């Protein structure tokens, strides 16, 4: 890698780790006023507005036969995780949510083997087992600062990570040749109507914004979440992929929990030694599962 690209890659790596690691504390701030479903729908709706000009131009590149694929990708990569993470964080701290998000590469391996004819490598099975042991530890370390009893809300984040893993395999094997920016923007174009119908038909977001204290402040956090974590971060990630290796780019996943834990501590969240043990198990398992 040329020296200039190396510096740019390291810079992008640090910026992406900060942006994606901050996502969970932003969700937490949005939940102070809005319900989890409102946070999820607002996140999708706002990200769509930001990328709408791109989608209008890029949709011309897409064959009609691929429209359903983009809809499915949008649901898996953006829509469903937005709701799942927001709902889970009503009972799980932002720092733990960030640690659990590290499971995404594990689900990518599992789904690739089960549904896309990929092969397990020697260390993959052991890495998967170790990572899920870490999840169990985290799910038993309660956000109130106690340990014991399985927190079922952690399962929602595991499902969200499974959505990410399924989407990555779906893109790799079923959407070959589609430009990443086209994929992101047009996928949002297809799923955004669902978010708007839900917002204006089944929630009281408008009345909250007009009459609830700190509603606009919470909405501001959601706007930052949508623009940075859903739109800008994806642009930076694909730039990172172009100037570095996939291995280096994917390592952002391992740095994100450091940022999410940092924000959690600043916000006064209680972390037990079990949280750090769970994080070590998950990251160690992910590294093992992806071992060459």
Q: Residue 126 has which token pair?
A: 């052991």
**Res. 117 pLDDT band, cuts 50 70 90:** confident
Spell out the residues 6+ positions from residue 112 whose beta carbon is closer than 8 angstroms to its own. Answer: 118, 165, 169
> Which of helix, strand or coil describes residue 226?
helix
Q: Which of residues 152 and 74 earns the better pLDDT score?
A: 74
What is residue 47's predicted lDDT score, i.e. its pLDDT? 93
Residue boundaries of the structural domains of the chain: 3-289
* pLDDT above 80: residue 76: yes
Q: Is the pTM of this model over 0.75?
A: yes
What is residue 142's predicted lDDT score, i.e. its pLDDT? 59
Which of 13, 6, 92 lies closest to 253 in space, CA to CA? 13
Spatial separation of the C-alpha atoms in residues 96 and 104, rounded to whole Å? 14
Q: What is the pLDDT of residues 22-56, one digit of tens each?
A: 999 999 999 999 999 999 999 999 999 999 999 99
* pLDDT above 80: residue 87: yes
What is residue 201's predicted lDDT score, i.e. its pLDDT? 93
Which of 156, 168, 46, 49 lies closest to 105 in space, CA to CA? 168
What is residue 148's predicted lDDT score, i.e. its pLDDT? 56
* Whole-number average pLDDT of the chain: 85
């Amino acid at each position: 890698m040329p020296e200039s690209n190396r510096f740019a890659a390291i810079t992008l790596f640090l910026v992406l780790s900060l942006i994606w690691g901050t996502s969970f504390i932003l969700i937490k701030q949005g939940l102070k006023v809005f319900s989890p479903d409102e946070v999820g729908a607002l996140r999708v709706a706002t990200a769509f507005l930001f990328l709408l000009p791109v989608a209008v131009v890029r949709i011309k590149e897409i064959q009609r036969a691929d429209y359903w694929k983009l809809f499915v990708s949008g649901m898996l990569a953006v829509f469903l995780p937005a709701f799942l993470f927001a709902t889970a964080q009503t009972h799980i701290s932002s720092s733990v949510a960030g640690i659990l998000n590290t499971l995404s590469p594990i689900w990518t391996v599992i789904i690739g083997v089960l549904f896309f004819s990929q092969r397990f490598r020697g260390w993959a099975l052991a890495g998967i087992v170790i990572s899920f042991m870490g999840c169990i530890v985290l799910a038993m370390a309660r956000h109130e600062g106690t340990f014991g009893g399985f927190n079922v809300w952690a399962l929602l984040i595991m499902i969200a990570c499974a959505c990410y893993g399924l989407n990555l395999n779906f893109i790799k094997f079923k959407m070959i040749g589609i430009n990443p920016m086209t994929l992101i923007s047009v996928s949002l174009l297809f799923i955004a109507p669902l978010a708007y119908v839900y917002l204006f038909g089944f929630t009281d977001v408008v009345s909250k914004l007009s009459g609830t204290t700190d509603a606009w402040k919470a909405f501001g956090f959601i706007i930052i979440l949508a623009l940075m974590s859903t739109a800008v971060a994806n642009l930076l990630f694909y730039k990172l992929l172009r100037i570095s290796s996939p291995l280096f780019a994917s390592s952002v996943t391992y740095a994100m929990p450091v940022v999410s834990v940092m924000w959690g501590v600043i916000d006064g969240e209680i972390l037990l030694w079990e949280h750090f043990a769970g994080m070590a198990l998950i990251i160690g398992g992910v590294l093992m599962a992806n071992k060459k």
